């Protein structure tokens, strides 16, 4: 055994695997885990840069916790071609703390952590129950079939973000349709551009309104800090970007996974108290936010390999969460497993700020959905469900479901 030699600039190297095995929508792409079990290996980025792909759980944690590893967008080489995105990334927009490093990151993180209080989370949990019930009522009234993404998985987290930011009730439809265009994979670039501009204009107006007349919400609270209007509306945009598509895809893909696995679904139905643990296992098993991108600021050694300053490191959460050294029999969805320690919310200083909220949303939403529709099932064969492949948030674009009316 030994460390493989450094590849030459023109060496033929694998790209990030993104193709899923036919009929396996819940398993990571074929060839993602290294055939020899290596925790990290060289990888060819979309622009030709030779970077790294980390697939081992311990190596992923080490990289994500290392202060010599940066999250700054402008240092990253995209590992896969992203439609409509230039190969060189611009710096993070103002207020987007995912793409910056300390000390700038620390300032935002402190301010925001202080606002995700236990009291606010408790208030929000009550609202999740209400929104879930409202969405299920509407679904039931409209009757089968339904697209679960449109009817349930998207509106529940969208309403929660509105609640968190303090979007007034009367603005919700406007807000939701612009957000829907932004996160719709089939919308063209022009429509997305227009939705983006409109949303940012809206968030800016919202910030001004909160400054003039604060209400009981996160954005109003933050107007008491030293953040500028631009930073505040940027934070609004960040919370939307980080909290909506992720949760919506977990809800839709999680429902798809459970409907495809009747034994697991029976277990959950028989014991709704299992929901918290089931959510943790679904987070591990599905790992929708993937990969996490970083760049080395200095030469660092990880598990015997030397990552050089400037190199891009793609941390595959999906692969790390299926690492057999950390999770025995990792490809099995086991709702009784203690899945804690998974990396679905990341690790280190950028670990998901909304994870408690996301957990509450899912722990309420899954059991409520399955209780309301005891005969819920897919309305199309599983292989016809359209997948969000090649997107940094994996999931489904639509989930056609049906049920027997009472």
Please identify, using beta-carbon distances, which residue of 164 and 278 lies nearer to ligand HEM. 164
CA nearest neighbour of 237 among 177, 351, 161: 161
Tokens coding 42: 């060289």
Is position 365 an interface residue for ligand HEM (rule: CB under 6 A)? no
Binding ligand HEM (rule: CB under 6 A), the pick from 40, 50, 288, 385 is: 288
Tokens coding 231: 């930073």
- Which residue of this chain has its Cβ atom nearest to ligand HEM in the complex? 354
Is position 368 an interface residue for ligand HEM (rule: CB under 6 A)? no
Is position 158 an interface residue for ligand HEM (rule: CB under 6 A)? no
Binding ligand HEM (rule: CB under 6 A), the pick from 350, 364, 367, 396 is: 350
Is position 292 an interface residue for ligand HEM (rule: CB under 6 A)? yes
Binding ligand HEM (rule: CB under 6 A), the pick from 151, 206, 289, 378 is: 289
DSSP state for residue 47 in the 8-state scheme? T
Stretch of residues binding ligand HEM (CB under 6 A), selected from 142-150, 172-180, 226-234, 352-360:
352-360
Please identify, using beta-carbon distances, which residue of 127 and 377 lies nearer to ligand HEM. 127
Contact between 307 and 300 under an 8 Å Cβ cutoff? The reply is yes
Binding ligand HEM (rule: CB under 6 A), the pick from 76, 182, 232, 352 is: 352
What is the torsion angle, in degrees rounded to the nearest 10, for the CA atoms of residue 151, residue 124, residue 347 and residue 28? Answer: -20
Binding to ligand HEM, residues 19-48 (CB under 6 A): none
Stretch of residues binding ligand HEM (CB under 6 A), selected from 15-23, 33-41, 264-272, 287-295:
287-295
Distances (CA, A) of 360 to 37, 59, 218: 35, 29, 17
Residue 395 beta carbon to ligand HEM: minimum distance, rounded to whole angstroms: 10
Helix, strand, coil shares of the chain, percent, nearest 5, are 45, 10, 45
CA nearest neighbour of 316 among 83, 65, 34: 34
How many residues contact ligand HEM, by CB under 6 A? 24
Residue 153 beta carbon to ligand HEM: minimum distance, rounded to whole angstroms: 11
Residue 354 beta carbon to ligand HEM: minimum distance, rounded to whole angstroms: 2
Which residues are registered as beta bridge partners of 289? 393
Judged by DSSP in three states, 324 sits in: coil
Helix (H) or strand (E) holding 332: none
Is position 321 an interface residue for ligand HEM (rule: CB under 6 A)? no
Binding to ligand HEM, residues 48-77 (CB under 6 A): 71
What region does 110 belong to: left with phi over 0, alpha with psi -120 to 50, or beta? alpha
Q: Taking the CB of residue 359, how many other CB atoms lie within 10 A of it?
A: 20
The pair phi, psi for residue 396, each rounded to 5°, is -125, 150
Is position 248 an interface residue for ligand HEM (rule: CB under 6 A)? no
DSSP state for residue 216 in the 8-state scheme? S
Binding to ligand HEM, residues 216-245 (CB under 6 A): 238-239, 242-243
**Site residues, ligand HEM (CB under 6 A):** 71, 97-98, 109, 164, 238-239, 242-243, 246-247, 250, 288-289, 292, 344-346, 350, 352-354, 357-358
């Amino acid at each position: 055994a030994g460390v493989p030699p450094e590849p030459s600039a023109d060496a033929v190297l694998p790209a990030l695997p993104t193709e899923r095995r036919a009929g396996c929508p819940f398993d990571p792409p074929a060839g993602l885990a290294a055939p020899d079990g290596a925790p990290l290996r060289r990888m060819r980025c979309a622009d030709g840069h030779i970077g790294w792909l980390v697939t081992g759980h311990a190596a992923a944690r080490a990289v994500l916790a290392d202060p010599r590893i940066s999250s700054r967008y402008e240092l990253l080489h995209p590992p896969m071609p992203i439609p409509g995105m230039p190969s060189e990334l611009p710096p993070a927009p103002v207020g987007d703390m995912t793409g910056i490093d300390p000390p700038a990151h620390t300032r935002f993180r402190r301010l925001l952590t202080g606002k995700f209080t236990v009291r606010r989370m408790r208030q929000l949990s009550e609202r999740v129950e209400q929104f879930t019930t409202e969405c299920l009522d509407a679904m039931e009234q409209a009757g089968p079939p339904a697209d679960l993404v449109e009817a349930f998985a998207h509106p529940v987290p969208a309403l929660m973000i509105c609640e968190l930011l303090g979007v007034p009730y009367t603005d919700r439809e406007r807000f939701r349709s612009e957000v829907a265009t932004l996160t719709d994979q089939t919308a063209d670039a022009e429509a997305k551009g227009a939705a983006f501009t409109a949303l940012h204009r809206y968030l800016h107006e919202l910030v001004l309104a909160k400054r003039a007349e604060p209400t009981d919400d996160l954005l109003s609270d933050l107007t008491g800090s030293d953040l500028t209007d631009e930073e505040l509306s940027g934070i609004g945009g960040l919370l939307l970007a980080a909290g909506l598509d992720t949760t919506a895809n977990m809800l839709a893909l999680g429902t798809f996974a459970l409907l495809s696995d009747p034994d697991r679904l029976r277990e959950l139905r028989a014991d709704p108290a299992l929901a918290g643990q089931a959510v943790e296992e679904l987070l591990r098993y599905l790992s929708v936010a993937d990969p996490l991108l970083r760049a080395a600021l200095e030469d660092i050694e990880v598990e015997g390999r030397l990552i050089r300053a400037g190199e891009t490191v793609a941390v595959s959460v999906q692969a790390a969460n299926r690492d057999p050294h950390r999770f025995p029999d990792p490809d099995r969805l086991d709702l009784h497993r203690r899945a804690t320690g998974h990396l679905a919310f990341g690790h280190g200083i950028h670990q998901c700020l909304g994870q408690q909220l996301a957990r509450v949303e899912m722990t309420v939403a899954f059991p409520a959905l399955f209780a309301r529709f005891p005969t819920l099932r897919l309305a199309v064969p599983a292989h016809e469900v359209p997948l969000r492949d090649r997107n940094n948030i994996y999931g489904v674009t639509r989930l056609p479901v049906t049920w027997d009316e009472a």
